[in-house]
Amino acid sequence: MLVIRLVSGPAGPDALVLPVRPGGPDSPDSLASPDPTVSPASTARLVPTAVPLGDDVPAEAAAVLPATRLTGAAGEVREHLRPGGSPARLWLLGVGEGDERDWRTAGAALARAAKDETQITIALPGEATAALRGLAEGLLLGSYRFRLTEAGKRPALAEVSVLVDDPDALAGTLDAARATAETTRLARDLTNMPSSTKNPEWFAAQVAEAASGRPGLHLRVRGPEELAAEGFGGLLAVGGGSASGPRLVELDWRPDGARTHVVLVGKGITFDTGGISIKPVPAMKLMRKDMAGAAAVIAATLGAAELRLPVRVTTLAPLAENMVSGSAFRPGDVIRHYGGLTSESTNSDAEGRLVLADALAYAVRELKPDLLIDLATLTGANAVALGKRHAALYSENDALAAGLLDAITAAGERAWRMPLADDYVEYLASEIADLHSSPAQGAGSVVAALFLREFTGDLRDRWAHLDMSAPSWSDDTHGELVKGATGWGVRGLLRWLATLG
Ligand code: BES
Ligand code: MN
Ligand code: ZN
């Protein structure tokens, strides 16, 4: 994987990247050139760098800038050759207004532009904390390739040297960016993995491998017998149709002296056929991603441990494969969840809420945390309501919702708060069980959230639910996202956990 180094100089002999931003000295006129046969000049200008680069390099960059037609928007890249010179090439990189988000976009664009390079150097401005955080995350996330996609291809960019005035002062910022990006990459890898490999047992083994030898991290994995003995009826019902039995992963980051305890729950359906209520072909083709919530919460917990965040985090990942077979659960079955509440399921495709219900009830009764958050690729209705890039956030707690939204936004992800509308609670009525799990009256994402709320007990107002079906996957490569799994939630959760003490 790409190595990022902080250096105070000198620049390497090969490509040197200089940031530019909007606002050339004559921008308004240069855009409106009176002669249509003459290209408008650039409207960008060079960003002063923290480390002096000698006189000739900035002067030369300034001289070529007008002809580049750069606007300075984040992510623009132009190359200028310097035959015989050192550095041999200058790259001008648009960094927009220079906030963290723009730098993340610029970093990802740079990683893509430099895919055939071995080593490049980039000079940062002074006051580089936000720039470095964004740049490093953008480089590491934009250069992500799933290993099966990349097998046999030439290795990508190996090293980026970042020129700053005080490398030691910025080491912590780079560590935070690196931990965030590496755990996001892990979540992407898990989510992209085909379900022929990724069954519940395999997923649990991946967690064990990632957590092993890390002080402060404790792992417990329950198999089908333990789940039956303890009454995890939702997880057993959903996993019952598969030849690969269900698991419950419980990963605990327990730092000394933590004053806050957070439980994170993530939906871990390693493949969702819909079960007996089988999905049509187009709806099923991407259902290997139906464990993206579990991947995100596990990765965030590993990140919290890596960064030694002073907050206790217990992560629950109920893992099951929702299959069609003679042992699959049926529409109309009544399921007894952990803790005793029963639900009637008339659609075996509403499986996520059944496994989450067990995990939430277990967290409330046994772990008794201060805050309870779940992430799940729960409903197609998430995308109907909000499109492809926003998760739906539900919480009764305004402060918790605001804290999560702030952290998610600062981390470069997106979510939108949705109502836990009590009007629809009546849809959850069943004649044969405590709750109906899959009412079909509409408001799919809201009703799923209301169902989950029934299992939050006295943590009801300290719980938040994120339906992240839509942003868990990207259909194309843009910004720091690469086509495929996005790792949505890891960045936001890590930022949010860092605000708790
Ligand atoms: N895993 C799906 C939700 C999903 C859909 C995730 C598209 C990502 C992309 C979930 O298990 C499901 O099938 N939900 C049903 C619920 C319905 C049966 C009440 C849905 O959204 O249609
Ligand atoms: Mn389903
Ligand atoms: Zn599902």
How confident is the model over 184-232, as pLDDT tens digits?
Answer: 999 999 999 999 999 999 999 999 999 999 999 999 999 999 999 999 9
Collapsed DSSP state (helix, strand, coil) of residue 20:
strand
Lowest mean pLDDT among 29-33, 224-228, 383-387: 29-33
Q: What are the structure tokens assigned to 73, written together?
A: 């928007």
pLDDT over 60 at 169, yes or no: yes
CB-based contact 198:290 (threshold 8 Å): no
* 155/235: higher pLDDT: 235
Give the per-residue pLDDT at 153. 73
CB of 356 closer than 6 angstroms to any ligand 1 atom: no
Collapsed DSSP state (helix, strand, coil) of residue 489:
coil
pLDDT over 60 at 30, yes or no: no
What is the distance in A from the centroid of ligand 3 to the CA of 243?
A: 18
The pLDDT confidence band at residue 1, using thresholds 50, 70 and 90, is: confident
Q: State the amino acid at position 109 in one-letter form.
A: A
Lowest mean pLDDT among 4-13, 176-185, 336-345: 4-13
For the segment 129-157, the average pLDDT, to the nearest whole number, is 89
CB of 467 closer than 6 angstroms to any ligand 1 atom: no
Which domains, from first to last, does the chain contain?
3-166 (3.40.220.10), 182-498 (3.40.630.10)
Q: What are the structure tokens assigned to 500, written together?
A: 């708790």
Give the per-residue pLDDT at 181. 98
**Segment of 10-14, 66-70, 434-438 carrying the highest mean pLDDT:** 434-438
pLDDT over 70 at 255, yes or no: yes
pTM of the model: 0.95
**Prior bond to 87 cis, omega within 30?**
yes
Burial (CB < 10 A; 0-12, 13-18, 19+), residue 334, is middle
What are the tens digits of pLDDT across the range 273-308?
999 999 999 999 999 999 999 999 999 999 999 999
The pLDDT confidence band at residue 32, using thresholds 50, 70 and 90, is: low
What is the distance in A from the centroid of ligand 1 to the CA of 146?
A: 25
The helix (H) or strand (E) run that includes residue 5 is strand 3-7
Ligand nearest to the CA of 273: 2
Active site residue: 45, 89, 254, 279, which one? 279
CB of 24 closer than 6 angstroms to any ligand 1 atom: no
The pLDDT confidence band at residue 97, using thresholds 50, 70 and 90, is: very high
In this structure, the chain runs to a length of 501
Order across the sheet with 435-436: list the strands: 333-336, 342-345, 435-436
With CA atoms as reference, report the closest residue to 434 among 305, 312, 360, 341: 341
Query: How far is the C-alpha of 317 from the C-alpha of 295, rounded, in Å?
Result: 8
pLDDT over 80 at 434, yes or no: yes
Give the per-residue pLDDT at 40. 65
* Furthest-apart CA atoms within the chain: distance in Å: 82
What is the distance in A from the centroid of ligand 2 to the CA of 331?
A: 13
Q: What are the structure tokens assigned to 402, written together?
A: 């605001």
* Beta-carbon neighbours within 5 Å of ion ligand 3: 269, 272, 290, 352
Ligand nearest to the CA of 274: 2
For the segment 130-144, the average pLDDT, to the nearest whole number, is 97
Q: What are the structure tokens assigned to 153, written together?
A: 């291809």
Give the per-residue pLDDT at 25. 60
Active site residue: 353, 453, 491, 495, which one? 353
Establish whether 353 is a catalytic residue.
yes
For the segment 34-62, the average pLDDT, to the nearest whole number, is 82
CB of 350 closer than 6 angstroms to any ligand 1 atom: yes
Collapsed DSSP state (helix, strand, coil) of residue 340:
coil
* 118/269: higher pLDDT: 269
Average pLDDT score over the chain: 95
Give the per-residue pLDDT at 295. 99
Give the per-residue pLDDT at 29. 46
What are the tens digits of pLDDT across the range 457-497?
999 999 999 999 999 999 999 999 999 999 999 999 999 99
